Structure 1
Amino acid sequence: MMRGALSLGAVASLPACKPVLSGHLTSADAHPADYPTVRAVEFMGRYLTERTDGRIGIKVFAGGQLGNETDTLEITSFGGIDFNRVNFAPLNSIEPMTLPFSLPFVFDSVDHMRRAVDSDVGDEVLAALEPHGLIGLAIYDSGARNFYNGRRPIRTPSDMKGLKIRVPASDLYIAMVNALGANAVPIPFGEIYQSLAQRVIDGAENNWPTFVGERHYEVASYLSLTGHLLTPEAFVMSKISWDKLSQADQELVREAAKASVIEMRRLWDLRVADAQATIARSRVRVNEVDQAPFAALMRPVWDQFVTTPQQKSVVERILAMREA
């Protein structure tokens, strides 16, 4: 846990129980300061400041200043942080209803993902977080994740055989990569570049902005557009902090969070376009992929992780929103 570090940092100035929720509320994000999610929450803070005459604002601590996502999520549930932007992966371990959003190939396009999270399915998944001390406010994009490596283009699952592919320390990611015939290698995110350069791993997977922003394209010359995951990200508020808001302020916070989604997507789409332009000027070889053979191998993975009637209902409703 990061409690020791937090006691010496910015959160130390926050009383454990604030009698009035006002001023600059805290928000955590592991992404860097210029990332679309960070800028979207800053947009939300300005929105609140303007509509409350400065009474409420948000101070975003980006770049993991307050700890990693697992730690800050727990601190948020205890009321030590007011808002938090997290990937759905750490939420999967505390609330099974969040897991369908993380399944490989459950979304077949960015538009499909956005339709699903903007629907009552998204509302239902966010609402399931409340018993865990979290109020789900918004769902942000995390982009389509693709495989990249330094050995060969991936056009069919057979091309993945024998490749050592980096994954996060997630049972779902490990099961997905192994099911595709590759060897999943869980290593920390910050070690990917060096591991690719030294051929400790053959490849990794992530979205366009990360592939470019972390300079992985310098050490992985093949990018295959598998689009295997379009896992979104969650923006949540501590229920302890939420309960200190008046009903009017609660409604305003929800309104501001909804407006921030529009801003986040605008910024995200620009970021993706910039990354694609960078790769077009590089030596990276990009290839399209027929997703069907890859998706066909995911049934055992889905069966392993989707086990409750409620989860199955969410998956069915997501699939029903695909375009014909």
Structure 2
Amino acid sequence: MQKKLISLSLLLVTLLTFVGCNSSIQSNVYLDMINNKDSNKKILLLAESQSKDYPTTQGDNEFAKLVKEKTNGRIEVKVITGGGLGSEKDTLAQVRMGTIDFTRTSISPLSSYSDIMNVLSLPYLYRDSDHMWAVLNGSIGKQALEDIQKANLVGLAFYDSGSRNFYNNKREIKSVSDLKDLRIRVQESDLMKALVSSLGATPVAMDSAQVLQALALGQVDGAENNPATYFSSNQFNVAKYYTIDEHSRIPDILVGSKKVMDGISKEDQEIIKKAAEESVEVQKKAWKTNEDIMLDKMKQAGVKITQLDQSSKDSFKNSVTPVYEKFGSKYTDLIKQIDQTK
């Protein structure tokens, strides 16, 4: 009993630290936990950095609903949206410690712990979305989920996060040569810098919050991101050329704390894993719907959308050979296996 109270106290301190004075979250989570007199009922927290209507959040909510249904209410997952428990990096660290139960994050931060996750982040790795899901739903995806247990994490399911594409305010990009000498904003990532350089452009690393102003002031000519972020951040107003080259398909992942999962019954562990797996189709559908809406809004706003065919994509991929030599040379067998996946 004393151990349980200590754990609850640590969790409440963590919540108060990251959420502060958010009264709605306090009433929905703090009071529920404090007033929970049913010792057989568990309240678990899932951290989500995106807004309450974002496609990944819709997947989270489906997961929470299924867990509650499958356990007849014994286990209730509370989804805390909008970064209420911290950034993806922060919540991932807390899940590893066991002070937060679940989080939804990009797989990028997991590349520090898993070589497989590192490979899954390589550019132009997949032919299209169907190819990516064939890989993630097969033996490679299963191995990747299992691989992060060494980081005190339980991989539950992959979520869709679309593709990242190039956009700029100078010209339509139909071939690799069209990128030559453009200044392209990238994340603070050695891989992304190498990718842009290999395509003949100049990478400029900066925080995402600075991109709109940098485009407007001419500090950069373009950037790269998915349609939802490009449109919702209003960058379409200052960069009207959007090329769907799909250079990055980096999936998101729903992970649980190994410490927390080890503390519940095997039966409930399987229920949670099954609920996560079943939530994927809802999340994928939500992502596709959202992406279609964003692309339609882009067209209505006068954005020139260029869809590359497979031959053009292949020429882009051939141009980033130096990136594979630098970041993928140790994983040639795995990369070949991914390429051969049907």
TM-score past 0.5 threshold? yes
Q: 2:282 maps to what in 1?
A: 263
Separation in 2, partners of 1:81, 1:200: 40
Check conservation: 1:223, 1:286, Cα contact below 8 A: yes
**Following superposition of structure 1 onto structure 2, how do residues 60-71 of structure 1 map, counting pairs within 5 Å?**
60-71=79-90
Normalised by the length of structure 2, the TM-score is 0.86
**Residue 90 of structure 1: how far off its partner (Å):** 0.9
Which of 250, 255, 280 in structure 2 is aligned with 1:231?
Answer: 250
Normalised by the length of structure 1, the TM-score is 0.91
The structure 1 segments of at least 4 consecutive aligned residues displaced by more than 6 Å after TM superposition are 9-12
202 and 23 in structure 1: CA distance in 2 versus 1, 3 angstrom threshold: same
**Following superposition of structure 1 onto structure 2, how do residues 93-242 of structure 1 map, counting pairs within 5 Å?**
93-242=112-261
**Residue 315 of structure 1: how far off its partner (Å):** 1.5
1:305 and 2:331 are equivalent in the alignment: no
Check conservation: 2:18, 2:84, Cα contact below 8 A: no
Note the alpha carbon deviations across 1:175-213, whole angstroms, 9 max, x for none. 111111111111112222222222221111111222222
Question: Which one has the largest radius of gyration?
Answer: 2
Q: Secondary structure at the match of 1:70?
A: helix
Note the alpha carbon deviations across 1:4-36, whole angstroms, 9 max, x for none. 933857799689xxxx89533111122222111
**Residue 214 of structure 1: how far off its partner (Å):** 2.0
Identity of aligned residues (%): 32
7 and 40 in structure 1: CA distance in 2 versus 1, 3 angstrom threshold: closer
Check conservation: 1:21, 1:241, Cα contact below 8 A: no
Separation in 2, partners of 1:22, 1:114: 35
Q: Secondary structure at the match of 1:166?
A: strand
Aligned length: 315
Q: 1:293 maps to what in 2?
A: 315
Structure 1 unmatched ranges of 5 or more: none
Separation in 2, partners of 1:21, 1:85: 26
- 1:181 alignment partner AA: G
Separation in 1, partners of 2:183, 2:222: 6
Q: Secondary structure at the match of 1:128?
A: helix
Note the alpha carbon deviations across 1:130-175, whole angstroms, 9 max, x for none. 0100000001111121100111111122211221111111111111
Q: Secondary structure at the match of 1:102?
A: coil
Which of 93, 108, 112 in structure 2 is aligned with 1:89?
Answer: 108
Larger helix fraction of residues: 2
Which of 17, 37, 40 in structure 1 is aligned with 2:56?
Answer: 37
Q: Secondary structure at the match of 1:169?
A: coil
Which of 29, 44, 48 in structure 2 is aligned with 1:25?
Answer: 44
Separation in 2, partners of 1:99, 1:321: 18
Check conservation: 1:28, 1:66, Cα contact below 8 A: yes
